[in-house]
C-alpha cells in the first residue's frame, strides 16, 4: 500500500486530495494487516508537501500548491 500511495502521490495535482479508506479498521488485529500504520507511513513520507484535511474512519491529505510551504 505504501508503494501504491507513493506512486499515486506523484500523479496527484497540486491542490488535489488523496483519501485513504478504512484508516481505523482493525479487522485482523496485527498491525501488518491494518491500513492505519501504512497510511501513517505514507503521510509521513510526503511530509510538508501535504496537509491532513481530516482523520477518522478515512484520512484525507491534500497536496500543497507549493513544494516549499514556508517560502514567501
Tens digits of residue pLDDT in 1-49: 899 999 999 999 999 999 999 999 987 778 788 899 999 999 999 999 9
**Total of domains in the chain:** 1
14 within domain boundaries: yes
| Between residues 2 and 71, the one the model is more confident about | 2
Q: Which contiguous run of DSSP H or E holds residue 18?
A: strand 17-20
41 within domain boundaries: yes
59 within domain boundaries: yes
Range list of H helices, the chain = 2-11, 35-46
Q: What is the spatial distance between Cα 60 and Cα 52, in angstroms, rounded to a whole number? A: 6
Nearest-10 crossing angle of helices 35-46, 2-11? 40
C-alpha cell at 47: 511530509
CB 50 within 8 A of CB 43: yes
Residue 12: which domain range? Answer: 2-63
CB 38 within 8 A of CB 2: yes
pTM to 2 decimal places:
0.82
Amino acid at each position: 500500500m505504501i508503494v501504491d500511495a507513493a506512486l499515486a502521490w506523484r500523479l496527484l495535482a497540486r491542490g488535489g486530495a488523496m483519501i485513504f479508506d478504512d484508516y481505523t479498521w482493525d479487522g485482523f488485529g496485527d498491525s501488518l494487516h491494518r491500513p492505519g500504520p501504512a497510511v501513517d507511513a505514507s503521510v509521513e513520507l510526503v511530509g510538508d508537501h501535504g496537509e491532513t484535511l481530516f482523520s477518522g474512519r478515512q484520512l484525507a491529505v491534500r497536496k500543497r500548491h507549493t513544494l516549499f510551504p514556508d517560502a514567501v
